[in-house]
Amino acid sequence: MIEAIGFIAGALSLIGYLPQTIKTIRTRKTRDLALATFLFVMLSAALWIVYGWMQNAPSIWVTNSVVMVCCLIITIMKVLDIRQKT
């Protein structure tokens, strides 16, 4: 039951990043996105993944892995956009 609550909480967190990830992929526009935000979210997700793995809590490491992938996609697109403009 506790893991189910964890998966629901993680899914809700993930839902917050999916729309931005999808929009960024479709439009390729990252100008108004703050790179630091996504770098810190990725660092946070990485630490949650390690913690979840060490606590044997799949609800933590699975959902944070997906959040990290979403943020990684946006970060890569942002860095590529910055490089093209310089």
- 47-72 pLDDT tens trace: 999 999 999 999 999 999 999 999 99
DSSP symbols for the chain: -HHHHHHHHHHHHHHHHHHHHHHHHHH---TTS-HHHHHHHHHHHHHHHHHHHHTT-HHHHHHHHHHHHHHHHHHHHHHHHHHHH-
**pLDDT tens, 30-51?**
999 999 999 999 999 999 999 9
The predicted pLDDT at position 86 comes to 76
- d(C-alpha 30, C-alpha 45), whole Å: 21
pTM for this predicted structure: 0.86
Which structure tokens are listed for 76? 């890569």
Domains of the chain and any CATH numbers: 2-85 (1.20.1280.290)
